[in-house]
Amino acid sequence: MQTTSENAPQTALRFDNRFTRELPADPTPGNFRRQVTGACYSRVEPTPVAAPRLLAYSREVAELLDLHPRVWEDHAFTEVLAGNRVLSGMDPHATCYGGHQFGNWAGQLGDGRAINLGDVVNERGDRWTLQLKGAGPTPYSRTADGLAVLRSSVREFLCSEAMHHLGVPTTRALSLVGTGEQVLRDMFYDGHPKPEPGAVVCRVAQSFTRFGHFEIFAARGDTALLRRFAEYTLRTDFPHLGEPSRDTFIAWFEEVCRTTARMIVHWTRVGFVHGVMNTDNMSILGQTIDYGPYGWLEDYDPDWTPNTTDAAGRRYRFANQPGIAQWNLVQLANAIYPLIEQAEPLQAAVTGYAETYLQEWRDMMAGRLGFDSYRSDGDEALIDELLEILQLTETDMTIFFRRLGEWHVRPAEAATLDDNALLDPLMPAYYTPESLSEDTRSRTVKWLHGYAQRCAQDGLAPADRREKMHTVNPRYVLRNYLAQLAIDEAENGNDDGISELLEVLRHPYDDQPGKEAYAAKRPDWARHRPGCSMLSCSS
């Protein structure tokens, strides 16, 4: 039985539950699966767990919420983060949304295992929604149990924070709590389910509103509720645009297009592959949301996807993410069309997405290569050739760009060096350097000569170019095998690996003496191991 406790001083969270106060609730009581119409959410409490134990937390997110450091010593607060206690002022609920999954309309989806505890307003007036993922079933759980396993929860917790420290727009994670219970899961949906340790992640965001929130009301023809929800969204999450009107709805959609484009550029920069870019996994704030079967490019393969469910079609592969984001924006445009009743401004905004992406992608690539700015008179060919070269042999993208920042050769010097001397600084980026073909070596050397000439045009000192490149090319990313090692330890009762990995990921652009192992290439044992190279939507 859940209990309700008053806020202790060290956990004093100020709740202002505007969402549940201003939007219509599901009138049907009871926590059973159903279609919810005419409402934006259903009130539901988290399911208590047997033995909650704090495994990890983010001190940075705690500071956003004005939480006192001593709160982590209070087991009562751990029980809140597990769903065993509901603090005074909380209003737990699950929201209703739909979505296109793998390109097909899926109807009602909703928060099937995510329960919003409420909105916290900190001392600076910032609004943050607290959400428990894996805290039990809701009316939107369909045939699932609403729970989450440790492996997926560790990955979500770590990736939320890793992306933030990389400078990628993202939702955040406050805590990771083990439940002391077992959850039955079939990891690859191949008829081999097994019990796994359960866990709950407390996610934090300015808003968890998704494209699918608008799609569900549009699909049902409920224009009144669509308008009401859109007006709430503008007043709460986009107050700088002014009071809701046709013009502000257009300005809002234009902003969603721009911020989404910038998010995808960041994904491209760090080699991140989301894995499940369904419209219900797209945030209206242009933030990365829902860390399921994600991954970072190990070798540079534009066709790679970490999601086994997507292995055949590769819809959400690395190279396809910019186009998929635009496709998803078209679905959002279709959903909000009844509020605008003009296609032209929506089409213009979608075109603006492509223009923003291209411009910012060019600027991003120029920065990765250490250029002052992108030059239209030659940089495109140089970048295109590099991206082709990276595919000729198994090349670790993260290490390659980091090592390129250490490559300081002027054109005159390059003419005096043999191929081995030119290539030597980059060799650690190749998985099998001994297998480099003559053609690959020749093209890479030729590219390096052109790169040296291009760098010379900017006149940057080598130290300045290195610093510029090292601020955008990370040394440390959350490689799947690193996450899996932390998961293995946690499943054996040792959660220190999670905190140790998080500490490294807090400083992804810094050289961290003694932490070089966290920047190493994927080892051979991880090449085909589940959780390292193969992931599914199972969690």
Which pLDDT tens digit goes with each residue over 176-223?
A: 999 999 999 887 677 888 999 999 999 999 999 999 999 999 999 999
Q: Which of 26, 111, 280, 290 is catalytic?
A: 280
Instruction: Tell me how far CA of residue 122 lies from CA of 12, 87, 129, 239, in angstroms.
Output: 10, 16, 11, 18
Amino acid residing at 199: A
Region 165-180: mean pLDDT is: 98
* Residue 286, helix vs strand vs coil: coil
Number of Cβ within a 10 Å radius of residue 438:
8
Contact between residue 480 and residue 429 where contact means Cβ atoms under 8 Å apart: no
The pLDDT value recorded for residue 9 is: 43
Answer yes or no: 418 catalytic. Answer: no
The pLDDT value recorded for residue 150 is: 97
pLDDT tens digit sequence for 307-332: 999 989 999 999 999 999 999 999 99
Q: Rounded to the nearest 5°, which phi and psi values hold at 26?
A: -60, 120
The pLDDT value recorded for residue 531 is: 84
The pLDDT value recorded for residue 1 is: 39
The pLDDT value recorded for residue 187 is: 75
**The two three-digit tokens of residue 277, written as one number:** 């870019």
Q: What secondary structure, in 3-state letters, does 214-261 show?
A: HHHHHHCCCHHHHHHHHHHHHHHHCHHHCCCCHHHHHHHHHHHHHHHH
Number of Cβ within a 10 Å radius of residue 95:
26
The pLDDT value recorded for residue 250 is: 98
Beta strands in 75-171 (DSSP E): 85-87, 93-95, 98-101, 104-108, 114-121, 127-133
pLDDT tens digit sequence for 77-86: 999 999 999 9
* Residue 194, helix vs strand vs coil: strand
Where do the H-state alpha helices sit in 459-495?
Answer: 462-470, 480-491
Contact between residue 64 and residue 126 where contact means Cβ atoms under 8 Å apart: yes
Closest CA to 199 of 175, 184, 178: 178
Residue 202 and residue 81: Cα distance in Å, rounded? 6
Closest CA to 480 of 276, 268, 298: 298
The pLDDT value recorded for residue 4 is: 53
Closest CA to 86 of 41, 139, 48: 48
Amino acid residing at 531: G
DSSP letters for 382-402: HHHHHHHHTTTTTBBHHHHHH
Residue partners of 429: CB distance under 8 A and separation at least 6? 395, 396, 399, 400, 403
The pLDDT value recorded for residue 191 is: 80
Q: What is the 8-class DSSP label of residue 30?
A: S
| 3-state helix, strand and coil shares in percent for the chain, rounded to the nearest 5 | 45, 15, 40
529: left (phi over 0), alpha (psi -120 to 50) or beta: beta
**The two three-digit tokens of residue 469, written as one number:** 């490149």
Number of Cβ within a 10 Å radius of residue 313:
12
Cα four-point dihedral sign 255, 258, 260, 262: negative
Contact between residue 501 and residue 162 where contact means Cβ atoms under 8 Å apart: no
Residue 77 and residue 7: Cα distance in Å, rounded? 10
Whether residue 3 has pLDDT greater than 60: no
Amino acid residing at 24: P
Q: 184-200 burial by CB neighbour count: b if 16+ within 10 A, else e? A: ebebeeeeeeeebbbbb
Run of H or E residues at 211: helix 211-219
**The two three-digit tokens of residue 69, written as one number:** 């450091």
Confidence of residue 409 (pLDDT cuts 50, 70, 90): confident
Residue partners of 273: CB distance under 8 A and separation at least 6? 267, 294, 295, 296, 297, 304, 305, 306, 316, 317, 318, 321
The pLDDT value recorded for residue 422 is: 95
Q: What is the 8-class DSSP label of residue 200?
A: E
The pLDDT value recorded for residue 410 is: 86
Closest CA to 23 of 230, 211, 223: 230
Strand partners, 170: 288
The pLDDT value recorded for residue 357 is: 98
What is the DSSP pairing of strand 85-87 with strand 295-296? Answer: unpaired
Region 157-169: mean pLDDT is: 98
**The two three-digit tokens of residue 158, written as one number:** 């770590």
Whether residue 398 has pLDDT greater than 90: yes
pLDDT tens digit sequence for 5-55: 444 546 789 999 999 999 999 999 999 999 999 999 999 999 999 999 999
Residue 275 and residue 263: Cα distance in Å, rounded? 15
Residue 16 half-sphere exposure toward CB, CA atoms < 13 A: 10
The pLDDT value recorded for residue 414 is: 86
Confidence of residue 537 (pLDDT cuts 50, 70, 90): confident
Closest CA to 14 of 186, 130, 188: 130
The pLDDT value recorded for residue 139 is: 98
Contact between residue 50 and residue 180 where contact means Cβ atoms under 8 Å apart: yes
pLDDT tens digit sequence for 81-111: 999 999 999 999 999 999 999 999 999 999 9
